[in-house]
Amino acid sequence: METSSPLPSEPHGLPTAGLAPSGTLAEAAARCGLSLPAEQLERIECYCRMLWEWNSRLNLTRHTDFDKFASRDLVDTLAFSQALVSGERVLDVGTGGGVPGVVLAIVRPDLRVEMCESIGKKARAVADMVARLRLAAPVHHARAEAVLADSRFDSLVVRAVAPLKTLLEWFRPHWPKIGRLLVLKGPSWVEERGEARHYGLFRTLALRKIHEYANPATQALSVLLSITAADRGKEAKVKDKHAKENAPPAARQKPKTQQKPAARQKPSRRPTPRGPRPATDARSGKPRSKQLPRGKQPPGGGSHRKKPSGDKPLTNE
């Protein structure tokens, strides 16, 4: 959606109480190791201020200062950005306050970004921000399933919407209209994958982990997953390779892991050495017969036991 209104430098009525933005977005991004063109940072900062303006009336975000926005929303959006190929048609599922959709439209003008939101008030707020930012990014007041009924997308980006099982149930009938799902998850993604597999939701799908990174502020682990129909695996591998080669600095960060304490060594159980065997039996007092080592045979072969002297071989007369 495009308008002829000038790009606002600062929205009217911006509340200052409770926001406490520290410095500028450029400074916050630099602390996270992110580097963006000044023009893009200016537009994203403008979006932040509009988002916080709307947040005074609607519950759109908890990230109400530049540090939180950069270390969470901006880092995650750039992770999505590096996984997308130029020219793709992208749908932001459940955009909420416009993340990652609005930011994607700013940093990747070569993409055809669209957003959907089922809650009318939120959809109207995002549409207002998109218009004021002069972005060509349609906002649908509808569920993603309804949008997919009439449209096909190369990628669906999903962040903080629902568990994997729920997502795959929603989109099960729509895979002919979906190129792939790009889903951002936290450390619990393994359990969510197991639950979805338990219900047979991955029988015709292929899941790949594109990359993982630690949140610059909290060191919490984030994982970007790519889910495709199983018969499109080769195409997905090409896109995933592109994502790994072009991962942003924040996406290449390794989470800080605590060193595990050294494992306790179990005491070795050595056999107690035995002394020489007594020459006489303790019960009967009779001398013990000499035993040969196992596998040894007495001279002449056969058993070392002597035959009784009274035994004679039977002969036929």
Question: What DSSP string describes 163-186?
Answer: -HHHHHHHHGGGGGGBS-EEEEE-
- Alpha-carbon separation of residue 172 from 11, 84, 190, 229 (angstroms): 41, 22, 20, 10
* pTM recorded for the entire structure: 0.69
CA distance 122 to 94: 10
d(CA 122, CA 115): 11
Residue 181 lies in a domain: yes
Q: Is residue 161 part of a domain?
A: yes
Q: Which residues are CB-neighbours of 78 under 8 A, at least 6 positions away?
A: 34, 107, 248, 250, 251
| Domain count for the chain | 1
- Distance (Å, rounded) from C-alpha 156 to C-alpha 165? 16
Residues 6+ apart with CB under 8 A from 223: 184, 185, 186, 187, 189, 209, 211, 212
Within a domain: 261: no
The CA distance from 291 to 281, in Å, is 13
Lowest-confidence range among 20-24, 105-109, 209-213? 20-24
> Do the domain assignments include residue 18?
no
Instruction: Say how many C-beta atoms besides its own lie within 10 A of residue 20's C-beta.
Output: 10
Tally of residues, the chain: 317
Strand partners, 218: none
Report which residue type is found at 246. Answer: N
Report, as an integer, the average pLDDT of 65-87: 96
Q: Average pLDDT for residues 10-34, to the nearest whole number?
A: 64
- pLDDT value at 202 more than 80: yes
User: Helices 38-55 and 120-132 meet at what angle, rounded to 10?
Assistant: 140
Residues 6 or more apart in contact with residue 61 via CB below 8 angstroms: 51, 52, 55, 73, 96, 97, 99
pLDDT of 269 higher than 80? no
Q: Which two tokens stand for residue 129?
A: 């921000």
The enclosing H or E element of 144 equals helix 144-148
Confidence check: pLDDT of 1 > 70:
no
Residue 287 pLDDT level (bands cut at 50, 70, 90): confident
Which residue type occupies 271?
A: P
What tokens appear for 66 in the block? 């530049």
pLDDT of 259 reads 45
Does the residue 238 lie in any domain?
A: yes
Under 8 Å between Cβ of 32 and 79: no
Mean pLDDT check: name the lowest of 36-40, 202-206, 293-297: 293-297
* Residue 180 resides in a domain: yes
Given this model, what pLDDT does residue 315 score? 52
Report the pLDDT value the prediction gives residue 47, as an integer from 0 to 100.
98
Q: How confident is the model at residue 215 (pLDDT cuts 50, 70, 90)?
A: confident
- The domain in which residue 119 lies consists of 74-252
Which of 101-115, 230-244, 293-307 has the lowest average pLDDT?
293-307
162 vs 290: CA distance, rounded Å: 78
User: H helices of 155-278, where?
Assistant: 164-171, 189-198, 233-245
Establish if 65 belongs to a structural domain: no
Report pLDDT digits (tens) over 224-266.
999 999 986 556 565 666 655 665 554 454 444 344 445 555 6
Higher-confidence residue of 263 and 159: namely: 159
Could you tell me the CATH number of the domain that includes residue 240? 3.40.50.150
Terminus-to-terminus CA distance in the chain, angstroms? 122
